[in-house]
């Protein structure tokens, strides 16, 4: 069985989209563990489906956060780590060890509107301020840069004249929930 770990920091709606696809048998893999770097609703979503969870305190662990995550993944023979709204930056050592085994979902059409500080509403604010007509989402492999790894899948979404960042975020999230499981499926097929 293809084994995945999901790293989260927030609501976990992308985690939910993976759980749903596994439960409906559209995705052939198993979530071995969900790890959060702060207390968040996503942990509850995992517990609801009896998935193992681990809450790590990023403030206490500081630069040891990645080592702690690694310790909890390495013995589980994890095939793929999914960053689903995970806000801590991974260390170079961690990313190099798990080369081509970490993917991230980002709410813009990378390389546009990515990089340090470009998360959550900052992304959608920037898209609207720049008067973009099209935005979207990207699933990409994680390398040692921020949002710079090889792109696996992207989906576009129209930016409408009267969009607020919140409305745009919702429209894009709907597409994230489709392309994240699709990207996982693609990787499983190529495995
Ligand atoms: C998503 O917009 C994702 O693109 C970004 O963080 C958000 C996470 O949302 N990386 P959720 O926690 O999956 O609901």
What are the DSSP calls for 7-53, one per residue? Answer: EESS--HHHHHHHHHHHTTSS--EEEEEEESS--HHHHHHHHTT--E
Q: Is 114 in the pocket of ligand 1 (CB under 6 A)?
A: no
- Closest-CA residue, ligand 1 atom 8, reads 85
Beta pairing partners, 139: 105, 153
Q: How far, in Å, are 1, 9, 99, 142 from residue 76 at the CA level?
A: 12, 21, 17, 20
pLDDT tens for each residue of 80-102: 999 999 999 999 999 999 999 99
With 0-12 CB in 10 A as exposed, 13-18 as middle and 19+ as buried, what is 63? exposed
Q: Is residue 106 annotated as a catalytic residue, yes or no?
A: yes
CA of 12 to the centre of ligand 1 (A): 7
pLDDT tens for each residue of 14-69: 999 999 999 999 999 999 999 999 999 999 999 999 999 999 999 999 999 999 99
The answer to whether 42 touches 34, Cβ cutoff 8 Å, is yes
How many secondary structure helices (H) and strands (E) does the chain include? 7, 7
Atom of ligand 1 nearest to the CA of 16: 13
Q: Is 88 in the pocket of ligand 1 (CB under 6 A)?
A: no
The answer to whether 169 touches 121, Cβ cutoff 8 Å, is yes
- Closest-CA residue, ligand 1 atom 5, reads 85
pLDDT tens for each residue of 139-156: 999 999 999 999 999 999
Rounded-to-integer distance, Cα 145 and Cα 147, Å: 6
Q: Determine the pLDDT at residue 107.
A: 98
Helix, strand, coil percentages for the chain (3-state, nearest 5): 40, 20, 40
Q: What is the dihedral of CA 110, 114, 120, 125, to 10 degrees?
A: -90
- Closest-CA residue, ligand 1 atom 7, reads 85
Q: Is 16 in the pocket of ligand 1 (CB under 6 A)?
A: no
Which DSSP string corresponds to 96-123? HHTTTSEEEEESS-TTTT-STT--THHH
Beta-carbon count within 10 A of 162 CB = 5
Atom of ligand 1 nearest to the CA of 84: 13
């Amino acid at each position: 069985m293809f084994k995945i770990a999901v790293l989260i920091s927030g609501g976990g709606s992308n985690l939910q989209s993976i759980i749903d696809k596994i439960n409906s048998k559209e995705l052939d893999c198993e979530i071995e563990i969900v790890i959060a770097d702060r207390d968040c609703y996503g942990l509850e979503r995992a517990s609801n489906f009896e998935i193992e969870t681990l809450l790590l305190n990023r403030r206490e662990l500081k630069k040891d956060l990645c080592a702690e995550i690694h310790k909890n993944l390495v013995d589980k023979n994890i095939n793929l780590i999914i960053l689903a709204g995970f806000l801590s930056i991974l260390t170079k050592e961690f990313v190099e060890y798990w080369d081509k085994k970490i993917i991230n979902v980002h709410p813009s059409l990378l390389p546009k509107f990515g990089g340090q500080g470009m998360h959550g509403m900052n992304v959608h604010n920037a898209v609207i301020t720049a008067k973009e007509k099209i935005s979207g989402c990207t699933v990409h492999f994680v390398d040692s840069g921020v949002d710079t790894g090889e792109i696996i899948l992207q989906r576009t979404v129209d930016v409408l004249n009267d969009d607020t960042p919140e409305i745009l975020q919702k429209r894009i999230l709907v597409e994230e929930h489709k392309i994240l499981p699709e990207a996982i499926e693609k990787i499983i097929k190529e495995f």
